[in-house]
Structure 1
């Protein structure tokens, strides 16, 4: 059964499952507007997830065919995965920040062999052992896997501007770091329970109550620009703290108050991590060697293959912030 929760003020949430993932579910928000319901994120592209979303919408008094629009906080498949099915069912528009829309377009058009060759070269340069790199040399992109054929958005989310949601005031706040085009969405309306603060914040993965978001590298194989995603993330946190929302509605776990305190915890976490890494880097290390020594939520030996690639990207993001890349 779908788990729907009414947050008041024309905002509800549905817990849409993520198959075989410790996160468990994505919180998809249903926002009432004068032209029909608008979704903030959609969940993972999977038959069970789609069924749960449809059941949840029915509990909200609507259905997939009545959705007016979809606002995507970022391009990851547990957020953007079902957007195409929603649009097919209803004709809804899909809005996304230009930086993440570019990643979606690149994912849709890049040949599988080009992408896997690029990833193999990146991991080799990062010091990954050959037994880790080898599977990429013969990999083929399965056309049915979520995230490999994401829906192309048809509207752009412009930072600082109000979204076209008739009867609502939902402003886009650009918060890069987790992805280059991640956005939070500030509902600039009085809190329905009169909690102190300024409106409510749909925070996507940028600000979660008990998880530190992954800082990713999403580089174009044809672009040699060196980015600083961790620096972007830290600056983005400061922007969110300045909003002082009354309540945060994240994409995972649960809603919470006191965004400023949570931002402070995350800033302290990254400051401590960077300090610890400087100690480790007294001896030169490759990104792979650094990742092996960094603190994760489980020992390195227990981290599965795909997650190790994510860990290498995060290690490199920290090296860039420290000026080692």
Structure 2
């Protein structure tokens, strides 16, 4: 089976990956896209140009799947729909965060016809409640659930139920078991050849943080998330966190506290 085409779509400057991998799946004259990118003029121009190099047009796009609701994956879809009439599809639990109308909601195990292939939806909550991967048969599209060089943030939605760290560890375990030996195309960065190893690395990162929280509690059993969070090994250090990332760190610390007490 011919591997899907991947276009590198730039994102605006900021504390996020510099590009998003937009997967292009062709079915004759029709095109299906996965994770088209950010609603930004430079991103739209890059997508237009990339499709043209493949002999395709934006007007040929018939469906768009976003692996989760974040703007660097989903928001350009609205602009594409204006030009092509494409349907926009998203994991059901992310529907309330989308910010644009969604044409179809996706559930675990659901099958889609994308680019002449049968794609299966694999629900992998953690990064967001509705994060999905797409099983294309020969390759797994992992969105931001498994990235090659970044530890994905967890629970990055306004409304979050349950414990995203617990959910994410279960998602990593599922991917490692079901897709061992399968290459992966992530939402950012280069392809991943060894999914079980990368999933184990990501899981170890979060288990180590839970152990840090447990150690802090052993010294101060009554410590709160606000008191423990500055003691943990955040990338760049606690002092470097912005208001948004600090709030995320506090939420994650509270979820680790739950895991310690489980």
Q: Tell me if 1:163 matches 2:112.
A: yes
Which of 37, 51, 54 matches 1:60?
A: 54
Asked if 2 retains the 8 angstrom alpha-carbon contact of 1:215 and 1:317, the reply is no
Q: Tell me if 1:208 matches 2:143.
A: no
CA RMSD of aligned residues (A): 1.9
Asked if 2 retains the 8 angstrom alpha-carbon contact of 1:43 and 1:78, the reply is yes
Q: Which moved more, 1:263-272 or 1:38-47?
A: 263-272
**Superposition pairs for residues 174-323 of structure 1, below 5 Å?**
174-188=123-137, 199-216=138-155, 218=157, 220=159, 227-242=162-177, 243-282=179-218, 283=220, 284-323=222-261
Task: Measure the CA separation in 2 of the matches of 1:210 and 1:217.
Answer: 18
Task: Please list every run of at least 4 consecutive aligned residues from structure 1 whose deviation after the TM superposition is greater than 6 angstroms.
Answer: none
Tell me the alpha carbon deviations over residues 74-127 of structure 1, each in whole angstroms, 9 at most, x when there is no partner. 0011111101001111000011111001333xxxxxxxxxxxxxxxxxxxxxxx
Q: How many residues align?
A: 258
Asked if 1 retains the 8 angstrom alpha-carbon contact of 2:133 and 2:142, the reply is yes
Bigger Cα Rg: 1
Structure 1, unaligned runs of 5 or more: 1-7, 105-149, 189-198
1:77/1:245 Cα in 2 relative to 1: closer, same or farther (>3 Å)?
Answer: farther
Structure 2, unaligned runs of 5 or more: none
Asked if 2 retains the 8 angstrom alpha-carbon contact of 1:157 and 1:163, the reply is no
Q: Partner of 1:173 in structure 2?
A: 122
Q: Tell me if 1:18 matches 2:21.
A: no
Q: What's the TM-score once normalised by structure 1's chain length?
A: 0.75
Q: What's the TM-score once normalised by structure 2's chain length?
A: 0.91
